[in-house]
Chains A and B, each alone.
Chain A
Amino acid sequence: MSEHHHDHDHDHSELSETELRVRALETILTEKGYVEPAALDAIIQAYETRIGPHNGARVVAKAWTDPAFKTALLEDGSKAIGTLGHVSRVGDHLVVVENTPERHNMVVCTLCSCYPWEMLGLPPVWYKAAPYRSRAVKDPRGVLADFDVTLPKDMEVRVWDSTAETRFLVLPMRPAGTEGWSEEQLAELVTRDSMIGTGFAKTPGAPS
């Protein structure tokens, strides 16, 4: 097996070898009676349909419109989200951190790829890759510049390294010009990156 390929430059013969090895492993696990292939299909389908940033966006939009919910959310993220029947079940260890005019929060996992799946879906490749994991803790503003995000010079930048089973969700600031908007309208402005802390919520009327 060649070990010299790169994430963005798949060599087709190498890739098909990986594919063959993955298929072989699944065959063995099935033949030995460890897993049922239909159950693997169901796992993939559940991830493809049930989790994703729409879950986090609903939570953020609710926090923007319901001060009591926001207080509860910042106090105990898992418990507050548990009161909303419609979002996926987040487990016990979700911490929600609020962006303010004084402080911008950003989430990373330097050691692997810890990420709030139930709120944001599976993480994008960049979140799991070396450039983000290495630099987020040392040069957060440099990383934000890669996302075309600039913060005021004096603003505190707080980086949360997810080194345990706690998971972090950023509550972005509500965009100006959204007074009187419904939760559903507001949820449309909440991007995945705004909940990781590498972006802002969309501003009404701005190109997306």
Chain B
Amino acid sequence: MNGVHDMGGMDGFGKVEAEPNEPMFHEEWESRVLAMVRAMGAAGAFNIDTSRFYRETIPPHVYLSSSYYKKWFLGLEEMLIEKGYLTREEAAAGHAMQPGKALKHGKFDLGQVERIMVRGKFARPAPAPAKFNIGDRVRAKNIHPTTHTRLPRYVRGHVGVIELNHGCHVFPDSAAMELGENPQWLYTVVFEGSDLWGADGDPTSKVSIDAFEPYLDPA
């Protein structure tokens, strides 16, 4: 979706301000939100792409005015309600009013913690040979799906070069909508800064994205 989360190339957000000696969490509730997201994801309530899509669908004015973990909370609560893990009435009351729904991987208990400290695997067997080779020129498609995609707006329609082939990975556009993993070849595609931004770009810059094969046409 062409949401406000797709920020690459936007102006007006001001200077990057780093906080010296920044703590890992600014408030205790932030750590609880992180833990709930990780736990419910590991229990099988949702996949990582679906959770990203729910954050992207937070209304733009709320997205821009909420702290990072507030966005995580808003996305998590809405997603769990829509997936039937709790009701709006329960969220408002702050208590369960009916039994829980079965989780794909069962309750997240202490025995599950180690499992999530290793990053998930996203590579999958290839259903077909790769269409592109390293060095090929490709054009990012001019697509504007209203659902989840990982093709940022700022590269759409532009020509780049295939630099790395990462193998076949879970396709976020399908996984986010719970349409299956639909594995696709994943490439690093590099663009010249001056192609992306014209005369307003930095001629010494190059920008790469990791692009799934369905995002690309030969150029």
Contact status of A112 and B5, CB under 8 A, knowing A39-B113, A89-B117: yes
- Digit string of A1-26 for contact with B (CB within 8 Å is 1, else 0)? 00111111010000100111111111
The answer to the question of B130 belonging to the interface, with a C-beta cut-off of 8 Å to chain A, is: no
Which residues on the B side are within 8 Å of A18 (C-beta)? 29, 70, 73
> Is B208 a contact of A160 with CB atoms below 8 Å?
yes
Q: Give the distance in Å from the alpha carbon of A166 to the alpha carbon of B189 in the complex.
A: 13
> Is B119 a contact of A32 with CB atoms below 8 Å?
no
Q: How many residues of B contact A (CB 8 A)?
A: 99
Contact status of A111 and B6, CB under 8 A, knowing A38-B110, A141-B202: yes
Contact status of A124 and B19, CB under 8 A, knowing A27-B94, A46-B113, A89-B119: yes
Question: B119 to nearest A CB, angstroms?
Answer: 3
8 Å CB interface, A67-96 against B: 88-93, 95
The answer to the question of A176 belonging to the interface, with a C-beta cut-off of 8 Å to chain B, is: no
Which residues on the B side are within 8 Å of A121 (C-beta)? 24
Q: How many residues of A contact B (CB 8 A)?
A: 88
> Is B207 a contact of A161 with CB atoms below 8 Å?
yes
Residue of B nearest to A110 (CB): B8
Q: Give the distance in Å from the alpha carbon of A21 to the alpha carbon of B193 in the complex.
A: 44
Residue of B nearest to A133 (CB): B7
> Is B119 a contact of A90 with CB atoms below 8 Å?
yes
Question: B201 to nearest A CB, angstroms?
Answer: 7
The answer to the question of B142 belonging to the interface, with a C-beta cut-off of 8 Å to chain A, is: no
> Is A31 a contact of B96 with CB atoms below 8 Å?
yes
Question: A31 to nearest B CB, angstroms?
Answer: 4
> Is A3 a contact of B202 with CB atoms below 8 Å?
no
> Is A25 a contact of B77 with CB atoms below 8 Å?
yes
Which residues on the B side are within 8 Å of A39 (C-beta)? 39, 108-110, 112-113
Q: Give the distance in Å from the alpha carbon of A108 to the alpha carbon of B9 in the complex.
A: 12
Which residues on the B side are within 8 Å of A131 (C-beta)? 13-17
> Is A134 a contact of B36 with CB atoms below 8 Å?
no
The answer to the question of B146 belonging to the interface, with a C-beta cut-off of 8 Å to chain A, is: no
- Digit string of A36-49 for contact with B (CB within 8 Å is 1, else 0)? 10111111101110
- Digit string of B44-64 for contact with A (CB within 8 Å is 1, else 0)? 010010001001000001101
Q: Give the distance in Å from the alpha carbon of A90 to the alpha carbon of B5 in the complex.
A: 26
> Is B113 a contact of A113 with CB atoms below 8 Å?
no
The answer to the question of B161 belonging to the interface, with a C-beta cut-off of 8 Å to chain A, is: no
Query: Could you tell me which B residues sit within 8 Å of A by CB distance?
Result: 5-11, 13-19, 22, 24, 26-29, 31-36, 38-40, 43, 45, 48, 52, 55, 61-62, 64-68, 70, 73, 76-77, 80, 85-86, 90-91, 93-96, 99-101, 103, 107-110, 112-113, 116-123, 150-152, 154, 164, 166, 169-170, 172, 186, 188, 190, 193, 196-197, 200-202, 204-212
Query: Could you tell me which A residues sit within 8 Å of B by CB distance?
Result: 3-8, 10, 15, 18-29, 31-36, 38-44, 46-48, 50, 88-93, 95, 108, 110-113, 117-118, 121-122, 124-126, 128-141, 143, 146-147, 153-166, 193
Could you pull out 8 A-B pairs where Cβ atoms are within 8 angstroms? A21-B73, A22-B29, A36-B108, A110-B152, A122-B24, A131-B13, A138-B196, A166-B166
